[in-house]
Structure 1
Amino acid sequence: MTDEMEITPPSPRGTKRKGDESLPLPAPRRIKALAQDVVNKIAAGEIIVAPVHALKELMENAVDAGSTALEVVVKDGGLKLLQITDNGHGIDKEDLPILCERFTTSKLKAFEDLSSIGTYGFRGEALASISHIAHLCVTTRTKESSCAWRAQFADGKLSNPKPGQSADPKPIAGRPGTQITVEDLFYNVPSRRRAFRSSSEEYAKILDLVGRYAVHCAGVSFSCKKHGGSTTDISVPVAASTVDRIRQIHGSTVANELVSLKAENDRWGFKCEGWVSNANYSAKRTALLLFINHRSVESQTIKKSVEQTYTTFLPKGGHPFIYLSLDIEPQRVDVNVHPTKREVHFLNEDEIIAIICDEIRTCLSKVDTSRSFMTQSLLSNNPKAPFATPIKPNTSATSGTDDANNRSNSKSALKKAAKKPYENNLIRTDASARKITSMLQTHPSVDGAGAQEPSDQEYEITEKEPGACRLASIKELRTEIREAMHNELTDIISTHSFIGIVDEQKRIAAIQGGVKLFLVDYGMLCNEYFYQLGLTDFASYGAIRFSTPLDLRELLKVAAEQEKENAGDAVDEVDWEDVVDTVRNQLVDRRALLLEYFNMDITSDGEICTIPLLVKGYTPSLAKLPQFLLRLGPYVDWESEKECFHSFLRELAAFYVPESLPLPPQAMAADAKGKGKTREVEEDAEIAKRRIKVRNALENIIFPACKARLVGTRGLLKGVMEVANLKGLYRVFERC
Structure 2
Amino acid sequence: MAGMDAMDLDSPRGAKRKADVLDDGNAAPRRIKALDPDVVNKIAAGEIIVAPVHALKELIENAVDAGSTSLEILVKDGGLKLLQITDNGSGIDKEDLTILCERFTTSKLQKFEDLQEIATYGFRGEALASISHIAHLSVTTRTNNSDCAWRAFYDSGRLAPAKPGQPSDPKPTAGRQGTQITVEDLFYNVPSRRRAFRSASDEYNKIIDMVGRYAIHCHHVAFSCKKHGESSTSISVPANASDVDRIRQIYGASVASELIPFSTSDDRWGFKAKGLATNANYNIKKTTLLLFINHRCVESSNIRKAIEQTYSPFLPKNGHPFVYLSLEIDPQRVDVNVHPTKREVNFLNEDEIIQALCEHIRSKLAAVDTSRTFLTQTLLPGGAWSTPDLQATASTPSKGEGSGARRTPVRPNENNLVRTDTNLRKITSMLAPATPGAGNTAASGSTAAPSANMEMVEYETVDRNPARCSLKTVRELRAAVREDMHHELTEIFANHAFVGIVDERRRLAAMQRGVKLYLVDYGRVCFEYLYQLGLTDFGNFGVIKFSPPLDLRELLSIAAEQEKEETTGKGAAGHGRDDDFEVPEVVEFVAEQLIERREMLMEYFMLEVSPTGELLSIPLLVKGYTPAMVKLPRFLLRLGPYVDWTDEKACFETFLKELASFYVPEQLPATSSAEDGGTEGGEETTLSAEIKSRRGHVRWAVEHVFFPAFKARLVATGSLMQAGGVLEVANLKGLYRVFERC
TM-score, structure 1 normalization: 0.50
Structure whose alpha-carbon radius of gyration is higher: 1
TM-score, structure 2 normalization: 0.49
